[in-house]
Amino acid sequence: MTIAVERLDELVTALRTVLRDEQILTSKPDRYNRARVPAPFPVHRWSERLPDLAVLPTSTDEVAGVVRIAHDLRVPIVPRDGGTGLTDGAVPLRGGIVVDVKRMNQVKELDLENRTVTVGTGISMLKLNEVLGKHGLFYPDDPASYPCSLVGGRIGTSGWSLIGSRYGHTRDLVLSFDHVLPTGEVMHVGDGIGHKISKSSSGYQLKHLFMGHQGTLGIATEATLKLFPKPEAELSPFWAFDNYDDAYRCVGALARAGVATFAGAVLFDEWKVAYLRRDDEAYIPQPGDVRALVCAVMYGYEDEVRPAGKRLFRIAREHGARYLGDEISEGDWAARHDRYATPLHGRTKSGQVVPMSWHCEDAAINYTDLPSVSKAWHEIVADLRRRTDVFDDWGMFTYTSGNTGVDYLTEIDVGIWEQQLDDRAWEMWVRAKRDIAAVALAHQGSISACHGSCREGEVDLVPDELGRGYDVMLDLKRTLDPHNIMNPGKYLLDRAYDTGAP
C-alpha cells in the first residue's frame, strides 16, 4: 500500500525542511532493500511491503522533525535499525517512511567512574566493544546477531543475550534512553530523570513499556548503557550425551547450581545434532551415539571461573556427560554468532542441498515443560515436511533465561526454501506458526522470549496470552499514538482505532 504521488511530493517537500536531500531516499532499490529482514519472507509478495521512502537522520532532532511531519500528514513510520529482527518488526506493512537510524552511531560519552556509555542507537555492540575494550570494559549484550544487530533494534525488540544469566538481557543493560514519541515529542525514558540511574521508585516504571514494542510506540535515539569489566576468563565446556533425557536433566542441574559466574546453559536436542551432522566442521567428528549436547558458559576472573568450572564438570559427569575437549568447546562457543543462517544446510528429504532461509520460533517455557513442548513442536514441523520439501527441521535448542533456571528460551529452527514459497506454502507456514504458539500457551509459556511475536501466525494469539493486558496495550497505543502512525499493522494494534488503517 503506497501513498499517492501528489502526497508523496508534499511529504518530500516537508521532509526537506528537516533533512538534506541526500538523507531522503526514494529510489526503488532503496525501498526494496528496506522492506525485508532475514526471516523468510514471501518473496513473491515483496512489492506489497515497500515503504514509500526511507530517511537517514543523524540526530534526535531530525528524528523528531520527521515524526512530527508524519504525524501532521498522517503517514506511517517504521523504525529500522540493523534490520535483523526475525519477527518482521522493521518490515513496512502500510508503506510510509522507514526511519533508518544507522547513521546515529556515535559514542557520545564514556563515563569510566559510573561505568556507563552513552551512544547513538545506530551503533552495533561489536563496534562499541572495540572502543570499550581499550578501557578494559565491555557491554555484554550478546545475541547471536551480535555482529549485525544494533542498539536501537535491541531496545525495539528487548531481545535475548546469550550470556544473559550472568549479565542480564537488553532490558537490564540499557539504563535509559531518549525516545521520540509518535507525536514527535521527545522524552527521556529510564529510572528517574537522570540518565544513569539503575533503580528508582518514582512514578510508574515506563522503561519496560518503551522497550520491546517493535517500533509501535516511537523511536529510541540515544541510549545510556551499563558497563562491566571485560572478562578475563571464559569457560564454555560442551558435553555429549547418548540420550536426550540425561542431557535434559543435566542442563537443569547446571542451572540450579547457583554458580555466580554462570552465564548460561544450552541444550541441543536430537534433531539439532542430526542437523549439525550435515557438515563436517560442526560437532560432527562425534560418533553416531551422540544424541544430545549441553553447553555451559562461565565468565569472570580466572580465579573464580576455574573452581566454578570444576563444580559444573562434576555435575555434568554425574549426569552421564562426555566432555568434548577444549578444542571443540572453545571453537563451538567462538562460532556462536556464525552458526546461524547457513543456507547451505538446507536439504530436501532425499538429501539435495538447496538454499534455505533460517527461521526460528522462540518461546519462554518453564523447565519442567521443555520435553513435551519440543515433542509437540517437532511434530508440527514433521507435518509440514510430510507434505513438501519447502520446509526442513533444523532442530531445537533451549537456553536458560535467568540464573535460577526457572524458564528457558526454547527455539525451533526451521529451514525454508524461500525460492519455492507461494501463497499455499506461506499459508501452511503461517498456520504452523500459530500452532507452535498455541503449544507454548497450552504449557503456560510465553509466545516469545526473544524476538517478539508480532508476525503473521503467532500474533493472532497474543491477545489470548495477555488477556486484559492486551486491552491495556490498545488503550496505551491509542493514547500515545492517536493517529496510528507508528508501525501500523503490527501486534494487531489497529484494533485500537475505529478505522484500522491510518
Partner 1 sequence: MTQLDRQGPADPVSVPFTPGMRDNPDELAEMPEEIARAVEEPADPTPTEELTAEWRNASYNCFSSGHKFCREVCPVMQVTRNESWTPTAFHANVVAMDKGELTIEDVAADYVNCTQCGACELRCPNTLFTGDFYRFRTRTVDVVKAVRALAVESGVHQPAWQSWNARTDELTHEPVLGETPIDQEHVRDWSEGLDLPIGGETVLFVDCEAAFYRTSVPRAVAQILQQAGYEFGLMGEQWCCGGPAAEMGYVDQAMRFARHNLDNWRSTGTRRVLVLDPHDYISFTEDYPKYFGEEFDLEVVLVVEVFAELIREGRLTPSVPIERAITYHDPCRLNKRKGIWQEPREILRAIPGLDFSDVDRVTQWSYCSGGGGGLPVEKPELTAAISASRLEKAAALEVDTLVSACPWSERPLTEAGEAVDIDVVDIHELLAESLGITVGGSRNGGAGA
> What gap in Å lies between CA 51 and CA 199, rounded to an integer?
39
DSSP string, 258-275: --TTEEEEEEE-HHHHHH
Least spacing, CB of residue 32 vs ligand FAD, in Å:
16
CA atoms within 13 A on the CB side of 101: 40
Q: Binding partner 1 by CB under 8 A: which of 73, 147, 463, 492?
A: 147
DSSP H or E segment with residue 235: strand 233-235
Closest CA to 337 of 91, 66, 149: 149
Least spacing, CB of residue 277 vs partner 1, in Å:
5
The DSSP 8-state label assigned to residue 40 in this structure reads -
105 near partner 1, judged by CB under 8 A: yes
153 near ligand FAD, judged by CB under 6 A: yes
Residue 107, SS3? Answer: strand
Residue 280 interacts, among partner 1, ligand FAD, none and using kind-specific CB cut-offs from 5 to 8 Å, with partner 1
- What secondary structure, in 3-state letters, does 166-215 show? HHCCHHHHEEEEEEECCCCCEEEEECCCCCCCCCCCCCCCCCCCCCCCCC
Least spacing, CB of residue 68 vs partner 1, in Å:
23
Q: Binding partner 1 by CB under 8 A: which of 139, 377, 417, 491?
A: 417
Residue 449 is placed in which grid cell? 522470549
127 near partner 1, judged by CB under 8 A: yes
Least spacing, CB of residue 24 vs ligand FAD, in Å:
19
Looking only at residues 22 through 81 of this chain, which bind ligand FAD when binding is defined by CB under 6 A? Answer: 37-38, 78-81
Total residues interacting with partner 1, rule: CB under 8 A = 88
Task: Pick the stretch among 8-16, 158-166, 457-465, 491-499 that binds ligand FAD (CB under 6 A).
Answer: 158-166
What x/- string results for residues 110 through 129 when contact with ligand FAD is judged by CB under 6 A? -----------x--------
DSSP string, 446-502: BS-SSS-S-STTGGGGHHHHHTHHHHHHHHHHHHH-TT--BSTTGGGGGGGSSSS--
> What gap in Å lies between CA 220 and CA 188, rounded to an integer?
9
9 near partner 1, judged by CB under 8 A: no
Q: Binding partner 1 by CB under 8 A: which of 382, 442, 472, 501?
A: 382
Q: Binding ligand FAD by CB under 6 A: which of 131, 186, 341, 438?
A: 341
352 near partner 1, judged by CB under 8 A: yes
Task: Pick the stretch among 102-110, 181-189, 217-225, 446-454 that binds partner 1 (CB under 8 A).
Answer: 102-110
Least spacing, CB of residue 376 vs partner 1, in Å:
11
Which position has the grid cell 535434559? 248
122 near partner 1, judged by CB under 8 A: yes
Residue 366 is placed in which grid cell? 518453564
> What gap in Å lies between CA 377 and CA 390, rounded to an integer?
17
- Please state, as a whole number, how many other Cβ atoms lie within 10 Å of the Cβ of residue 200: 12
Least spacing, CB of residue 456 vs ligand FAD, in Å:
14
268 near partner 1, judged by CB under 8 A: no
Q: Binding partner 1 by CB under 8 A: which of 390, 437, 450, 459?
A: 390
What x/- string results for residues 279 through 298 when contact with partner 1 is judged by CB under 8 A? xxx-----------------
Task: Pick the stretch among 145-153, 257-265, 320-328, 414-422 that binds ligand FAD (CB under 6 A).
Answer: 145-153
DSSP H or E segment with residue 14: helix 5-15
The answer to whether the CB of 115 falls within 8 A of the CB of 196 is no
The residue ranges that bind ligand FAD (CB under 6 A) are: 37-38, 78-86, 89-90, 101, 121, 143-145, 149-150, 152-157, 159-160, 162, 214-215, 219-220, 340-341, 450-451, 487
